[in-house]
Structure formats: C-alpha cells, structure tokens
Structure 1
Amino acid sequence: MADVLVVGGNGFIGSHLVDALSEGGHRVTAFDRFSTGVPTFRSSAVRMLPGDFLSRSDLEAAVRGHEVVFHFLATTSPATAEADPTLDIRTNVIQTVELLTACAEAGVRHVYFASTGGAIYGPQERSDFSETSPTLPISPYGIGKLTIEHYLRYFGAKHGLRSTSLRISNPYGTRQHPNRKQGLIPIALRQIARGESVARYGDGSMVRDYVYVDDLVRMLVPLVDADPRHEVYNLGSGRGSSVTEVLDAIGRVTGAPVRVHEIPTPATFVDRVVLDVTRFDEEFGISVPTTLEEGIAATWADMTGERA
C-alpha cells in the first residue's frame, strides 16, 4: 500500500478518487481548499489537508512524505481560460511547475497529471485520436495542458521525476458541480431541474467522448501500484456521442421535455473528438461498462436527491 496525495481531492474527480484509493487500502491525503469545511468524499480514513494551490509553502508541505501524487486540481475551465489566457498561465501552468519542483525535492516516486483528451488534439481532419496523434491545441485551456505535459518531461530529464499524463475525455457523473459551467450533462440536467431551456452549442452535431466518473476512477486506482510503460494515456469510453444524442438520453431519463436554445459555438471548440483508448486497454485491461443512459440516470438521481 502506498502513501498517496490527491491534489484537488475535494473536487469532482478527486473526491471519487480518494474514496476509491482509501477503499483499496492506500493511505490517502486530500489536498484542497475545503472552503466550506465539509469534504465531498465519504471516507473517514482520508486525511484532509486544507491548503492553497497558489502557495509554494503549502505545496511543499502537502507533498512531503508521499510516494505518489495525483494532480487533479484545475484553477480554470475551458471558458475561463479563454476569457483570460494569462489566468491559466499564472495559476495552472506556473503553479504546476511549483508543484513539480516540490515533488522532485521531496523524492516523490510518481506524478499522475489530469490532462485533457479533447482540447489537446485540436481541430484536425481525423476525429478519432490516439496518443501518437499530433497535438495541435488552439484553446488556451488545451495549450496550458500541453505545456504542463512538456514540463513533466523536463522534470523527468532534469530531476528523474517519473510522471504520466492522463488525457481524460469528457467526464461526468455524481458530485459534479453544474454551477462551474463546465460539462454538458450536469449543466443540462440542472437546467431541466429548474424548468429552464437547455443551452446548446450549434446544431447539436458536435461529438464528444463521455466517460462516467466511476469508470474513470476504476482506471485510475490501479496506477498507484503500476509501472506504466508509456508517459501518456488516453482515458475515455472510446465511444462518441453527439450533443443531440446526449440531450435525447437526458429526455428519456428525466421524462421531461428538453427545450433547447442555440448559442454560437466558440471558434476554439473542436467539432468531433473521440479517444482511442487501445493503449490503456491493452496494458491494463480495464473495461468501461457504464452506458451513457445509465450514467445520466445515476447523475440525475444524485442531483434530484440533493434537491429534495
């Protein structure tokens, strides 16, 4: 069993991850702001470590004594990074370099970084991307993620810090905060719960690879004890769904009419992204069994339960 730090451990993916790691017997520390004072995760065995990602001293204290670090904290979303690219550079990129410096100095064995499996590839003639596909991001969010991937290679060459970039597709599921304005599924479900119309980019033909959070975490947990053969992995369902297909599934799950109002698609959005997850599947053999409709149903049940 390992001493594991999850940076962003009270967030959407991070909270699920710390629960699963704790259930697996690992000694887990969740580093986050914990601004409400209440953890999102459920395990009482997880150590809460309140701290500020923008503080070098907090990062140094957090990584000390840990063998494995999962970096799953983001200070921006695709929308906020596009609104102010310098914010992404100042907070995500620079502070991740600070985190990696602290990891190298503390003797951390392995860092796993939550990259992006969509924005990092950018618009290309192909629509199904493997880890060897060109990375041509045109959004500040994707550019920032790719920059961090390059810094991971630098820290490996310079300091011997082992790391793996996880290019995650479009995760969704329970505990996802719809008010962050990131993620079609939670935002659409919240709008329907409020009796509002659903904002849809373009004509609904945009395609993404949606992965349910429980499936994603099932892929992440074995990495703690693994010796990955590659420095980059795509993590997703390997299946593409259009916005129209997602909204149709939401309508079936909720039993509510899905009223749509169309909004312009940002120029930096990619029309179609589906991840080829063959590399990860062949090495780790972990399936992604949850269908889109099953995942939406679980997310809706969790959301309406919170509202009750």
Structure 2
Amino acid sequence: MAKTLVIGANGFIGSHLVEALADDGHTVTAFDRFSGGTTTFATGAAKVVAGEFLSRSDLEEAVTGQDAVFHLLSTTTPATAENDPTLDIRTNVAQTVELLEACVHAGVGHFYFASTGGAIYGPQDKTSYSETDRALPISPYGIGKLAIEHYLSYFRTRHGLASTSLRISNPFGTRQRVNRRQGLIPIALRQIALGLPVVQFGDGSMIRDYVYVEDLVRMIIPLVDRTTEHTLYNLGSGVGSSITEVFDSLRRVTGVDFDIEIRETPATFVDSVVLDTKRYSDEFGSPTLTSLDAGVAATYADIRTQLAGA
C-alpha cells in the first residue's frame, strides 16, 4: 500500500478521494487550508495537514515521504479564470510547477493531476472525444489545465517524475459547495431549493458528460493499485445529457416546476462534450455508474442540508 497525499483534500472531489484511498488500505495525508476548522471527509484514518497551496514551504513539507501525490486543488473556477486569465497563470499554473519541483526533490514516485475533460478538447464538432484527439481549449481554464499537462510531460522527461493526467468530465454530487458557483447541476439545485429561477444558457441543447463523484473516485483507485499502460485517461460517464434532459431530471427528483431564465451562451462554451472512456474500460473494466436521477437526488439532499446550516 502507498503513502498518499491529497492536495485539496477538503474539497468536493478531494474529500471523497481521501475516504476511498483510506478504504483501499493506503496511508493518506490530507492537505488543505481547512479554514472552517472542520473536515468534510468522514474517515478518521487520514492525517490532516493544514497548509497554503501558494506556500512553497508548506508544499515541500507535505510531499516529503509520500509515494503518490494527488493534485485536486484549483484556485480558480472556469468563471473566475475567464474574468482574470492571469490569476490562473499566476496561481494554478505557476504554483503547480513549484509543486512538481518539490515532488522531484522529495523523491515522490507518482503524481496524479485532476485535469479537465469538459474544457480541454474545445469545439471540434465530434460526438465524443478520446485521449488521442487534439486538445484545443478556448477558455483560460482549459488552457491552464493543458499547460500543466505539458509540464507533467516535461517533468517526466527531464526528471523522471511519473505522472498521470485525469481528464475529468463534469463531476457532480455531495459536498459540492453551493457558494462556489461551479457546475450546472449544483447551481440549478441551489436555485430550486431557494425558490429562485434556474439559469439556462442557450436553447437547452448544450450537451455535457456528467459523472457522479463517488463513481469518479472509484475509477481513480485502480490507477493507484497497479502499473498503468498510459499517462492520460478520460474519466466520465461516457454518456451525454443536454441541459433540457438535466432539467427534466431535476423536475422529477425535486417535484418542482421551476422557472427558467434564458441567457446568451458565452463565447467560450462549446456545444457538446462527451468523453470516450474506452481506454479506461479496456484496461480496468467498465465502472458501475450511478443514474442521473439517483445522483441528483443525493446532491439535492446534501444542498438542502448545506443551506439549512448556513
């Protein structure tokens, strides 16, 4: 079993991954700011390390003695990166390079990076995207993720740091913070819970690949337990759902016939992104996936709990 470090451990995906790694028998160190003074993950097996991602010394201390490092923290969202592209460069990109340098100096065995499958391929009018397709992002968020993937390649070549990029589709689920304003499903469910209109960009035909967070972390665990054939994997459901189809699910689950506020689609949004996950399933088998309605139901219950405690 490996000594693992999860950076962004108190976040949405990170908290679920901490639990999954611990359940799989790995030693887990959970690194985050923990600014609220509490942990969002349930396991008591993880060592909690409070630190700042933007502090080189905090990162150097955290990676010391680790076999594997999972980098799931992002200082921006697609929206904030769009509003200030230099912020993404100065924080996410530059600091990840410092993190990679720290991993090299600490002798870390493997680095796992949470990239994006939803923004990195760009508008190419394909029914689905595989890892062999060109990455042509048109948003600062996607451009930053691709830049980091290229730095991973550099560090593999120059320093021998093994790494894997995880191009994750559109994750949703419990512990997705409602105040972060990222992701169609949690944003819409928050609006519904508050009795407010739900924003729809365009005519409702925009398609995305939605994956429930617990399914996602179950896909990640096998990558740690064995030597992999590739350095890049698409992780998603492999199924596309339009905004209209998602809203139909929200109505079924919540029982609310909510109002819709239609807005113009931003120029950097692409019409359709569905991930081809055949590379993963060929190597690890097809994952068991939670249905959209079941995932929405769990997410809605969690959001209502969050709002009640706010």
TM-score normalised according to structure 1 size:
0.98
Q: Which residue of structure 1 aligns with residue 26 of structure 2? A: 26
Question: In structure 2, what is the equivalent of residue 51 of structure 1?
Answer: 51
Deviations 1:23-70 (A, max 9, x none): 111110111010101001011111111111101111100100100011
Aligned position for 1:256: 256
* Partner-residue secondary structure (3-state), 2:228: coil
1:153 has 2:191 as partner: no
For the residues of structure 2 that align with 1:286 and 1:74, how far apart are their CA atoms?
Answer: 28
* Structure 1 stretches of at least 4 aligned residues deviating more than 3 Å after TM superposition: 305-308
Q: TM-score, with normalisation over the residues of structure 2?
A: 0.98
| Pairwise CA distance, 1:81 | 0.3
2:200 corresponds to 1:200? yes
Q: Please state whether the residue corresponding to 1:119 is helix, strand or coil.
A: coil
Mapped to 2, the partners of 1:185 and 1:274 lie a distance apart of: 16
Matched with 1:123 is: 123
Q: Assess if the C-alpha contact under 8 Å between 1:12 and 1:176 holds in 2.
A: yes
Change (3 A) 1:209 1:45: same
- Give 1:71's aligned residue: 71
The 5 Å alignment of 1:1-308 reads 1-308=1-308
> Is the contact between residue 125 and residue 272 of structure 2 (CA under 8 Å) also seen in structure 1?
no
Q: Are the equivalent residues in 2 in contact too, given 1:237–1:288 (CA < 8 A)? A: no
Post-superposition offset of 1:293: 0.8
Find the aligned partners of 2:204 and 2:283 in 1 and give their Cα distance. Answer: 35
Structure 2, unaligned stretches of length 5 or more?
Answer: none
Q: What secondary structure does 1:288 align onto? A: coil
Partner SS state of residue 29, structure 2: strand
Q: Report Cα offsets for 1:147-193 as digits up to 9, x if no partner.
A: 00000000000000000000000000000012111100011001000
1:181-220: CA deviation from partner (whole Å, max 9, x where unpaired): 1100011001000000001111111000000001001001
RMSD (Å), alpha carbons: 0.9
Q: Is the 8 A contact 1:247 1:258 kept in 2?
A: no
CA distance in 1, matches of 2:270, 2:307: 34
Distance 1:263 1:269 in 2: 13
% identity of equivalent residues: 66
